[in-house]
Amino acid sequence: MHNRQADYINTWKRSTIIVVLNVLLCTRIKILSK
């Protein structure tokens, strides 16, 4: 049970990092394209 919760938290952190990186990349592209 504890391991499953830890895996869920790790997956959530990984997903959050991916989303943040994608947002930063999109904003950088928008700034460069202006």
Taken in order 15, 17, 18, 22, the sign of the CA dihedral is positive
Residue 9 has a pLDDT of: 93
Residues 1-21 have pLDDT tens digits of: 578 999 999 999 999 999 999
Mean pLDDT within 23-30: 96
Residue 12 has a pLDDT of: 96
Q: Count CA atoms within 13 Å of residue 19 on its CB side.
A: 6
